[in-house]
Amino acid sequence: MDGTIRILRDITESLREHARREPKQECCGLLAGREGEITRAFPAANVASNPATAYEIASEELFRLTRKIRAAKLEMVGIYHSHPNGENAPSPRDIERAYYPAAIYFIVSPFGDAPTPVRAFAIRDGRATELEIQIA
């Protein structure tokens, strides 16, 4: 990974809209594409016990979305969620629960005045590195 990820503008807008729909709880979902470009978002239900401060995708839904991604001949590239109560940077919990080291973790702000409403991070070995997002 060279520190840059490409994503379609429509996808970043759909992530922001998802975060604004329920601004008091974390939204979440998967991101898919091919050849290093994210072209589709797959929203998921947040089943965390406290969705205001955490996100969790049920394993059944994760499997269902993964099948949809494969059926569309895409690859799972990333996971997204929002931070309704603070900066859209990885929390210690986000870093601890980054179970997919090859995935890019996108964190979305539901706030219209956020300086960078969509941010992307590689999270590996307990460290988060911000990636540059290139809008396609």
pLDDT tens, position by position, 4-52: 999 999 999 999 999 999 899 999 999 999 988 999 999 999 999 999 9
Any idea what the CATH number is for the domain that residue 121 is in? 3.40.140.10
Res 128: pLDDT: 97
Q: Where in the sequence numbering do the catalytic residues fall?
A: 26
**Beta strand pairing call for 118-124 and 127-135:** antiparallel
Give residues with Cβ within 8 angstroms of 112, minimum separation 6: 20
Rounded Cα distance, 125 and 115, in Å: 28
Tell me if 71 sits within 8 A of 65, measured CB to CB.
no
In DSSP notation, 24-57 reads TS--EEEEEEETTEEEEEEEE----SSTTT----
Q: Please state, rounded to an integer, the average pLDDT across all residues of the chain.
A: 95
Question: What is the residue range of 11's domain?
Answer: 4-135
Tell me how many domains the chain contains: 1
127 forms beta bridges with 124
